[in-house]
């Protein structure tokens, strides 16, 4: 005899709006549709009557509804308030996001046992290979979620997975400065990296941490600790969609991601510390379309290094970043294993150091 009675499924998620307030969702479903919702938080909403329209607007939605669908339901029911409606510290998109995170059983940073690796000085090819190795290790459960800071002393350019070698690099500059060109596994743009001129880190993230977030939201969400660290150093940093880290003084750097099929995520960022802008433009072809899109007259004016913005040594800035992450999320400090380093060196020989991979997009 079968039992057709299904117990309601209950979900909970909290979402701190970037630059805004906390939004909390408690959701019940029958496995197919949302049957009950409670939205709460420390936000501000006027008129008060509008608050009581939020939950009913979401009841009946599919458990697979995307952010746009849920947001539209909310926007439609709130439209009747017209100019009287005032939402402070959150939006209907944020409500949709927290509901999606609830239904996706999203986790918070503090739900995981994070590790931080300060790292030893390694060739850039090995650093790039380690991103693939550690992503695989976290996905397989052999390593805990990890933040690692790169260290290197060679001169290199790391290009995105889908960038054209010929379109991104100036052969004469590469030869003149002995630049090691390495293609990474994530998308995004080229990074000109001399020893000590950048701050680069990689995060290896469980799928549950970014559940319910779209790509753009995940960039900002994953780097809140960085923005907090920079603020403590006197830098008012913020994200410019999709993946630029900027400040009131100018662009600082950019981030990129790679997602595995199971959702495990590599998120990494490179920020300028003391880049030689003249040398950079001799090595990189920074197209006019990209420059004009950023609203500046030249590539050299796009970047405002952290050294000039903080007056701090590179190591001291990394100290603040690592300590901010550890303090916020209870992380412990760790090192690479010999097995991980050996896997990375093997990948350099078989993949990242080969012409086939480096020139896979000619």
CATH number of the domain enclosing 57: 3.30.390.50
Domains in the chain: how many in total?
Answer: 2
The residue assigned the tokens 């995105």 is 160
The answer on 224 and 87 residing in a single domain is no
The answer on 137 and 92 residing in a single domain is no
The answer on 130 and 198 residing in a single domain is yes
User: pLDDT over 90 for what percent of the chain?
Assistant: 88
Poorest-confidence range of 159-163, 243-247, 269-273, 301-305?
301-305
Q: Please tell me what DSSP assigns to residue 185.
A: S
The answer on 292 and 241 residing in a single domain is yes
Tell me the per-residue pLDDT of 199-258, one tens digit each, with 9 for 90 and over.
999 999 999 999 999 888 999 999 999 999 999 999 999 999 889 999 988 889 999 999
Q: Which of 110, 116, 166, 138 is nearest to 361 (CA)?
A: 166
The answer on 225 and 178 residing in a single domain is yes
Residue 3: inside a domain, yes or no? Answer: no
The answer on 186 and 330 residing in a single domain is yes
| Beta partners for residue 219, in sequence order | none
What is the pLDDT, as a whole number, of residue 5?
Answer: 53
What is the pLDDT, as a whole number, of residue 140?
Answer: 97
Tell me the per-residue pLDDT of 281-319, one tens digit each, with 9 for 90 and over.
999 998 543 434 444 344 454 456 899 999 999 999 999
Return the higher-pLDDT residue of 214 and 11: 11
- Nearest 5°: phi and psi at 265? -125, 135
The mean pLDDT value for 65-79 works out to: 97
Residue 120: inside a domain, yes or no? Answer: yes
For the entire predicted model, the pTM comes to 0.88
Return the higher-pLDDT residue of 248 and 325: 325
Q: Which of 125, 36, 47 is nearest to 341 (CA)?
A: 125
Residue 74: inside a domain, yes or no? Answer: yes
The mean pLDDT value for 160-184 works out to: 97
The mean pLDDT value for 263-268 works out to: 96
Residue 38: inside a domain, yes or no? Answer: yes
What is the pLDDT, as a whole number, of residue 6?
Answer: 67
pLDDT higher than threshold 80 for residue 3? no
Residue 227: inside a domain, yes or no? Answer: yes
The count of residues in the chain is: 362
- The alpha carbons of the chain give a radius of gyration, in whole angstroms, of 23
User: For position 135, which CATH number holds?
Assistant: 3.30.930.10
Residue 286: inside a domain, yes or no? Answer: yes
CA 109 to chain centre: 13
Q: How far is CA 180 from CA 144, 163, 193, 267, 346, in A?
A: 31, 16, 10, 22, 18
The answer on 83 and 157 residing in a single domain is no
User: pLDDT over 70 for what percent of the chain?
Assistant: 93
Residue 280: inside a domain, yes or no? Answer: yes
The answer on 165 and 41 residing in a single domain is no
- Nearest 5°: phi and psi at 99? -65, -45
What is the pLDDT, as a whole number, of residue 19?
Answer: 85
Pairing of strands 146-149, 198-205: antiparallel
**Last residue of one domain, picked from the residues 103, 131, 165:** 103
**Last residue of one domain, picked from the residues 60, 76, 103:** 103
The mean pLDDT value for 178-182 works out to: 97
The answer on 126 and 255 residing in a single domain is yes
Return the higher-pLDDT residue of 161 and 242: 161
The answer on 308 and 294 residing in a single domain is yes
pLDDT higher than threshold 70 for residue 280? yes
The answer on 114 and 97 residing in a single domain is no
Q: Peptide bond preceding 242: is omega within 30 degrees of 0, i.e. cis?
A: yes
Computed over every residue of the chain, the mean pLDDT equals: 93
What is the pLDDT, as a whole number, of residue 283?
Answer: 96
Confidence of residue 67 (pLDDT cuts 50, 70, 90): very high
* Domain extent for 288: 109-359
CA gap 158, 178 in Å, rounded: 14
How does 139-165 read in b/e, with b if 16+ C-beta sit within 10 Å?
Answer: beeebbbbbbbbbbebbbbbbbeebeb
pLDDT higher than threshold 50 for residue 155? yes
The answer on 326 and 246 residing in a single domain is yes
**Last residue of one domain, picked from the residues 49, 82, 103:** 103
The mean pLDDT value for 121-127 works out to: 98
Residue 291: inside a domain, yes or no? Answer: yes
What is the pLDDT, as a whole number, of residue 119?
Answer: 82
């Amino acid at each position: 005899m079968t039992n057709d009675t299904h117990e309601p499924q209950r979900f909970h998620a909290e979402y701190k709006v970037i630059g805004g307030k906390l939004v909390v969702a408690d959701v019940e479903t029958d496995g197919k549709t949302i049957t009950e919702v409670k939205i709460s938080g420390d936000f501000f909403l006027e008129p008060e009557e509008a608050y009581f329209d939020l939950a009913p607007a979401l009841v009946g939605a599919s458990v697979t509804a995307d952010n746009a669908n849920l947001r539209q339901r909310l926007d439609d029911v709130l439209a009747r308030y017209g100019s009287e409606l005032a939402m402070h510290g959150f939006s209907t998109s944020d409500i949709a996001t927290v509901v999606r995170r609830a239904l996706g059983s999203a986790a918070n940073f503090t739900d995981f046992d994070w590790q931080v690796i300060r790292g030893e000085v390694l060739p850039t090819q090995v650093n790039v290979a380690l991103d693939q190795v550690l992503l695989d290790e976290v996905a397989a459960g052999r390593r805990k979620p990890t933040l690692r800071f790169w260290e290197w002393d060679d001169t290199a350019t790391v290009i995105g997975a889908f960038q054209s070698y010929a379109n991104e690099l100036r052969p004469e500059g590469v030869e003149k400065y002995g630049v090691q060109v390495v293609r990474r596994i994530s998308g995004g743009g080229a990074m000109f990296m001399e020893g000590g001129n950048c701050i680069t880190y990689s995060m290896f993230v469980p799928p549950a941490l970014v559940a319910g977030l779209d790509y753009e939201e995940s960039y900002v969400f994953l780097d809140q600790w960085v923005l907090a660290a920079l603020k403590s150093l006197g830098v008012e940093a913020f994200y410019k969609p999709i993946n630029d880290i900027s400040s009131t003084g100018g662009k600082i750097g950019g981030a990129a991601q790679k997602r595995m099929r199971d959702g495990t995520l590599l998120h990494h960022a490179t920020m300028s510390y003391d880049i030689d802008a003249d040398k950079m433009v001799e090595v990189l072809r920074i197209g006019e379309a990209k420059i004009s899109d950023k609203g500046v007259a030249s590539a050299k004016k796009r970047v405002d290094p952290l050294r000039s913005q903080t007056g701090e040594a590179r190591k001291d800035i990394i100290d603040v970043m690592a300590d901010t992450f550890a303090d916020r999320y209870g992380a412990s400090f760790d090192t690479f294993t010999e097995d991980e380093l050996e896997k990375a060196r093997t990948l350099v020989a078989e993949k990242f150091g080969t012409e086939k991979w480096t020139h896979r997009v000619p």
